[in-house]
């Protein structure tokens, strides 16, 4: 069930260039289950910034949950300043996450994360491994200074890293690594060009993509984050990224 709660900051630390890992406590964590869902976060107390910020859930624990964000504007700057004991107004969990049970025990799943698309892969990897699935993580960043969660994802299986400038791991994009891997299923979250390349690459029989779009309400009421469906690309049928997604099966919506 979706709840609104004033959560308490447990910890807030910088883990890469402009990337922060924020651990929050609250009963709302008991509502969270599916990896790939997000929370809608009010970054300040007043009415500026006005809107909430959609941030994916990186991990779910007993009484706490973790979100990662990139410091890039006024809202995230306020979040970066939060210290333990402070409050954060959270609405969630929102949206439909990755279907964990689509992968059977013994099968192999590749988890692809690009930049701030990496965080939801942590909880997904955790749940897949628990179900007896073999997990391979492929994560991409701009540069070595941007890398995070390489070790954390390493708890669950092999991790391959790509950097655009070649300062760490494979030079280029995650797709360069995907060419050499085989899996039953791919789960991906990251920038739209990356998702498009994965969809077009047909790297596995089944592919699920988590989309990103500017949102207003996060609950499906404002129609800000609407996309066309592949079946009716110019017509009136649509999906809302916030409440129908953010995870869609490859081929379901126009990205």
The binding site comprises: 53-56, 68-70, 75-76, 217, 222, 225, 242
* Smaller CB separation from another protein, 45 or 85: 45
Residue ranges at the known binding site for [2Fe-2S] cluster: 217, 222, 225, 242
Radius of gyration of the chain (CA): 17
What DSSP state is assigned to residue 117? G
Within 13 A of 171's CA, how many CA atoms are on the CB side? 3
The correct pick among 9, 51, 144, 181 for binding another protein (CB under 8 A) is: 51
The correct pick among 10, 18, 213, 230 for binding another protein (CB under 8 A) is: 213
* Smaller CB separation from another protein, 17 or 213: 213
Q: How far is the CB of 204 from another protein (least distance, A)?
A: 28
The correct pick among 48, 83, 105, 180 for binding another protein (CB under 8 A) is: 48
* Smaller CB separation from another protein, 42 or 126: 42
Q: Please state whether the peptide bond connecting residue 246 to the residue before it is cis, i.e. omega within 30 degrees of 0.
A: yes
Q: What gap in Å lies between CA 13 and CA 60, rounded to an integer? A: 17
Assess 221 for contact with another protein (CB under 8 A). Answer: yes
Q: What angle do CA 174, 238, 242 make, to 5 degrees?
A: 60
64, 24 contact by CB (below 8 A)? yes
Residue ranges at the known binding site for FAD: 53-56, 68-70, 75-76
211, 245 contact by CB (below 8 A)? yes
* CB contact set of 215 (below 8 Å; sequence gap of 6+): 40, 51, 54, 222, 224, 225, 241, 242
Q: What gap in Å lies between CA 250 and CA 8, rounded to an integer? A: 37
The correct pick among 144, 176, 181, 226 for binding another protein (CB under 8 A) is: 226
Q: How far is the CB of 10 from another protein (least distance, A)?
A: 24
* Smaller CB separation from another protein, 1 or 83: 1
* Smaller CB separation from another protein, 147 or 225: 225
Kindly state the tokens that stand for 186. 């791919």
Of the chain, the end-to-end C-alpha distance in Å amounts to 28
Assess 236 for contact with another protein (CB under 8 A). Answer: yes
* Smaller CB separation from another protein, 95 or 157: 95
Q: Which residues form the interface with another protein (CB under 8 A)? A: 1-2, 4, 42, 47-52, 91, 213-228, 235-236, 238, 243
């Amino acid at each position: 069930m979706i709840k609104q709660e004033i959560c308490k900051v447990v910890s807030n630390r910088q883990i890469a260039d402009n990337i922060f890992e924020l651990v929050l406590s609250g009963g709302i964590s008991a509502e969270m289950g599916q990896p790939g869902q997000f929370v809608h976060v009010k970054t300040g107390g007043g009415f500026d910034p006005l809107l909430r910020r959609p941030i994916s859930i990186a991990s779910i624990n007993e009484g706490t949950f973790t979100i990662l964000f990139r410091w890039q504007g006024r809202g995230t700057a306020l979040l970066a300043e939060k210290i333990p004991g402070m409050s954060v107004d959270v609405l969630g969990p929102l949206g439909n996450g990755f279907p964990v049970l689509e992968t059977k025990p013994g099968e192999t799943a590749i988890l692809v994360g690009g930049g701030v698309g990496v965080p939801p892969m942590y909880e997904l990897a955790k749940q897949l491994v628990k179900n007896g699935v073999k997990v391979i993580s492929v994560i991409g960043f701009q540069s070595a200074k941007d890398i995070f969660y390489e070790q954390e994802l390493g708890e669950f299986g092999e991790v391959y890293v790509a950097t655009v400038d070649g300062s760490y791991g494979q030079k280029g994009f995650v797709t360069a690594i995907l060419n050499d891997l085989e899996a039953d299923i791919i789960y991906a979250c990251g920038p739209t060009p990356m998702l498009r390349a994965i969809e077009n690459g047909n790297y596995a029989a089944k592919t699920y993509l988590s989309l990103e779009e500017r949102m207003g309400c996060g609950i499906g009421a404002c129609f800000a984050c609407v996309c066309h469906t592949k079946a009716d690309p110019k017509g009136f049928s649509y999906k809302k990224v916030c409440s129908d997604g953010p995870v869609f099966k490859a081929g379901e919506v126009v990205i």
